[in-house]
Amino acid sequence: MLSLAAEATHDPTSIALAIGILFFVVGVLGIVIPVLPGLLLCVAGVLVWAGYTGGTTAWVTFAVVAAIYAVTLLLQFLIPGRRMKREGVGGMTLALGVVGAIIGLFVIPGIGLPIGFVAGIFAAEYVRFRDLDRSWQATKSALRGVLHSMGIELSAAALIAVVWVGGILAH
């Protein structure tokens, strides 16, 4: 029995599955803590599994996952992106928010990322409007957009996990 377990741990498909799961877990963490391309890592995890497993089921599973990823990208552009543009938050503001997040990450380790993001957006909007209330409203709008985008990605990751488990069980 012990030798069967040892053989299973050296099976390339099992190793590929373990690597895929690791990619997926890191990807979900990357969605919540936006430093890594989270959902893309989740898709890459399924790709690693499909590549090593092979067969029609594995590749159909990956194709469905890739389609979910594409639809997610579209939804992220349409829902939060349009809403933020409608509320006057531009791409430059979000870019400066990201710069603030990176600076915050190093200045205040652990919690600096979100604080820097908010500070960067607020500073960009204050320079643009020269009005504290209007700048804060734009900052809240940008944060809602980011949270909506994160929710869309987390929902997609959950759907990808369901599809992948179905593919694993069907294989």
pLDDT digits (tens, 9 = 90+) for 72-129: 989 987 887 777 777 777 778 878 888 888 898 888 876 777 788 888 989 988 998 8
| Cα–chain center distance at 57 | 25
How does residue 49 score in pLDDT terms, banded at 50, 70 and 90?
A: very high
Query: How open is the CA angle 70-59-57, to the nearest 5 degrees?
Result: 125
Q: Which helix (H) or strand (E) holds 106?
A: helix 91-107
Over 80: is that where the pLDDT of 41 sits? yes
| Cα–chain center distance at 152 | 9
- pTM of this prediction? 0.74
Residue closest to 73 by CA, chosen among 161, 147, 149, 143: 149
Residues 6+ apart with CB under 8 A from 36: 26, 27, 29, 30
Task: Say which amino acid occupies 3.
Answer: S
- Per the prediction, the chain carries an average pLDDT of 84
In tens, the pLDDT along 8-21 reads 456 767 888 888 88
Over 70: is that where the pLDDT of 6 sits? no
Question: Residue 135 is encoded by which pair of tokens?
Answer: 């700048």
Over 50: is that where the pLDDT of 1 sits? no
pLDDT of residue 9: 55
Instruction: State mean pLDDT over 26-34.
Output: 83
Instruction: State mean pLDDT over 128-150.
Output: 85
Is 125 or 62 the better-scoring residue by pLDDT? 62
Instruction: State mean pLDDT over 124-140.
Output: 88
Instruction: State mean pLDDT over 49-66.
Output: 94
pLDDT of residue 48: 93
